[in-house]
C-alpha cells in the first residue's frame, strides 16, 4: 500500500493496530503485539498514545514483544530499545509492566541461549503474535536479522552489519560507540505472526524496498524471506516506493 506521505501511512497503521486492540478487548482476549524500534514506527506510537489519551484506547489486555535489543546496553542507556519503547509508548499508555517483553541487553554470554529460548517460549505461551510491526534496515534486515539469517532462525545473538552500525552512529555519537552485537527475534519467529505490517519511508529506503519486494528470496536480503507470508502488507510512502 502506497501512501502520499509517511504521516498518512503511519496513521493508517496506527488505525489498524487500534482496531485490533479494541476487538480483542471486546472479545475478552489478550492482544499480542510484536513491536519495532527505529525512526519508522515513532509516528505510529505517537498516534496510539493520542488514541489512548483522547479516545480511551485500553492497553490493559495488550502483551508486547519487541523484536530486538543491543547486546551490552543497559536498559537505562538512552540508546537502548528498552528506553526507546518506554519513551515513545509504554510510559504513556496503560500497558502492564509484566506484559512488556524486550530481549535483555545485559547478560553473560553463557546465559544468552537460555534467555532467547525463554523469549520464544513466552511468545508461544501468550498465544503467538497477533500482529508484528516491522521496519526495514538498508541491509535488508528485519529486527536485526542481518544478511545470512535464514528462514529457520529463532531469537538469538547476532553480529551487526557495518552499514547497520553506521546508520546508527548518530544516535551513539559515533560508530565506535555502536554495539557490535544484538539479540533479535529470528525470521521464523517473525513469520509465525498471524499478521505482519512492514513500514518504509523516504528515498533512502527505495532501493532495499525494491529488493525486498521484487528480489528472489535469499538470505542475502532477509526481508525477501517474508515474501511467502500469507498476511503481510508493506506500507510505503511515495518516495520509498519509487523504484518498484
Ligand atoms: C534498526 C532496528 C530495526 C529497524 C531498522 C530501521 O536496525 N533494529 O528493527 O527496522 O533499524 O530503522 P529506521 O526505521 O530508523 O529506518
CATH of the domain at 133: 3.40.50.1360
Banded pLDDT at 79 (limits 50, 70, 90): very high
Average pLDDT, stretch 228-243? 98
Residue 243 in any domain: the answer is: no
For the full predicted model, state whether its pTM sits above 0.95: yes
| Positions marked catalytic | 146
Q: Return the best residue to mutate from 6, 34, 136 for the ligand 1 pocket (most ligand atoms within 8 A of CB).
A: 136
CB-side exposure of 27: number of CA atoms within 13 Å?
10
Phi, psi for 66 (deg, rounded to 5): -80, 155
Summarize pLDDT for 175-221 with one digit per residue, the tens.
999 999 999 999 999 999 999 999 999 999 999 999 999 999 999 99
Residue 31 in any domain: the answer is: yes
Number of structural domains, the chain?
1
User: At a CB cut-off of 8 Å and minimum separation 6, what does 34 contact?
Assistant: 64, 65, 66, 67, 129, 131, 132, 133, 185, 190, 193
Q: Is 135 in the pocket of ligand 1 (CB under 6 A)?
A: yes
Banded pLDDT at 5 (limits 50, 70, 90): very high
Q: Is 136 in the pocket of ligand 1 (CB under 6 A)?
A: yes
pLDDT of residue 88: 98
Banded pLDDT at 237 (limits 50, 70, 90): very high
d(CA 209, CA 227): 12
Domain enclosing residue 81, as ranges: 2-237
Cell of 226: 517474508
Q: Is 144 in the pocket of ligand 1 (CB under 6 A)?
A: yes
Residue 79 in any domain: the answer is: yes
Q: How far is CA 182 from CA 7, 18, 103, 109, 112, in A?
A: 29, 30, 9, 12, 11
Q: By C-alpha distance, which of 69, 35, 13, 31 is closest to 199?
A: 13
Q: Is 137 in the pocket of ligand 1 (CB under 6 A)?
A: yes
Residue 218 in any domain: the answer is: yes
Residue 244 in any domain: the answer is: no
Q: Using only C-alpha atoms, what is the Rg of the chain? A: 17
Q: Return the best residue to mutate from 9, 141, 159, 222 for the ligand 1 pocket (most ligand atoms within 8 A of CB).
A: 141
Q: By C-alpha distance, which of 46, 89, 39 is closest to 202?
A: 39
Task: Establish whether this prediction's ipTM goes over 0.90.
Answer: yes
Ligand 1 atom at minimal distance to the Cα of residue 144? 8
Q: Is 143 in the pocket of ligand 1 (CB under 6 A)?
A: yes
Maximum alpha-carbon separation in the chain: 49
What's the residue count for the chain? 244
Q: Is 182 in the pocket of ligand 1 (CB under 6 A)?
A: no
Q: How close is the Cα of 187 to the center of ligand 1, in Å?
A: 15
For ligand 1, atom 10, name the residue with the nearest CA. Answer: 135
Q: By C-alpha distance, which of 230, 219, 233 is closest to 186?
A: 219
pLDDT of residue 119: 98
Summarize pLDDT for 161-175 with one digit per residue, the tens.
999 999 999 999 999
Q: How close is the Cα of 22 to the center of ligand 1, in Å?
A: 27
pLDDT of residue 164: 93
For ligand 1, atom 12, name the residue with the nearest CA. Answer: 38
pLDDT of residue 124: 98
Ligand 1 atom at minimal distance to the Cα of residue 134? 10
Summarize pLDDT for 84-133 with one digit per residue, the tens.
999 999 999 999 999 999 999 999 999 999 999 999 999 999 999 999 99
pLDDT of residue 169: 96
Banded pLDDT at 142 (limits 50, 70, 90): very high
197 membership: H or E segment, kind and range: strand 196-200
For ligand 1, atom 6, name the residue with the nearest CA. Answer: 137
Q: Using the 8-state DSSP alphabet, how is residue 221 labeled?
A: B
pLDDT of residue 121: 98
Evaluate whether 236 touches 1 at the Cβ level (below 8 Å): yes
Alpha helices in the chain (DSSP H): 6-26, 42-55, 81-88, 109-125, 162-167, 187-191, 206-214
pLDDT of residue 28: 98
Across the strands, what pairs with 237? 3
Summarize pLDDT for 35-62 with one digit per residue, the tens.
999 999 999 999 999 999 999 999 999 9
Residue 137 in any domain: the answer is: yes
Amino acid at each position: 500500500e502506497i501512501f502520499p506521505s509517511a504521516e498518512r501511512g503511519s496513521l493508517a497503521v496506527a488505525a489498524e493496530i487500534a482496531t485490533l486492540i479494541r476487538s480483542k478487548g471486546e472479545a475478552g482476549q489478550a492482544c499480542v503485539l510484536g513491536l519495532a524500534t527505529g525512526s519508522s514506527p515513532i509516528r505510529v506510537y505517537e498516534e496510539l498514545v493520542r488514541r489512548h489519551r483522547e479516545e480511551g484506547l485500553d492497553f490493559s489486555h495488550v502483551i508486547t514483544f519487541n523484536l530486538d535489543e543491543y547486546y551490552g546496553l543497559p536498559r537505562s542507556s538512552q540508546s537502548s530499545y528498552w528506553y526507546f519503547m518506554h519513551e515513545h509508548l509504554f510510559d504513556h499508555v496503560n500497558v502492564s509492566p509484566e506484559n512488556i517483553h524486550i530481549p535483555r541487553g545485559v547478560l553473560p554470554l553463557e546465559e544468552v541461549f537460555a534467555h532467547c529460548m525463554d523469549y520464544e517460549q513466552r511468545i508461544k505461551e501468550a498465544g503467538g503474535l497477533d500482529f508484528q510491526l516491522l521496519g526495514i534496515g538498508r541491509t535488508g534486515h528485519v529486527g536485526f536479522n542481518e544478511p545470512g539469517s535464514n528462514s529457520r532462525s529463532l531469537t538469538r545473538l547476532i553480529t551487526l552489519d557495518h552499514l547497520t552500525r553506521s546508520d546508527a552512529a548518530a544516535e551513539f555519537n559515533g560508530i565506535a560507540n555502536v554495539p557490535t552485537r544484538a539479540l533479535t527475534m529470528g525470521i521464523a519467529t517473525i513469520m509465525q505472526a498471524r499478521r505482519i505490517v512492514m513500514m518504509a519511508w523516504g528515498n533512502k529506503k527505495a532501493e532495499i524496498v525494491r529488493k525486498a519486494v521484487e528480489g528472489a528470496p535469499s538470505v542475502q536480503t532477509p526481508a525477501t524471506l517474508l515474501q511467502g507470508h500469507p498476511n503481510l502488507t508493506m506500507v510505503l510512502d511515495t518516495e520509498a516506493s519509487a523504484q518498484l
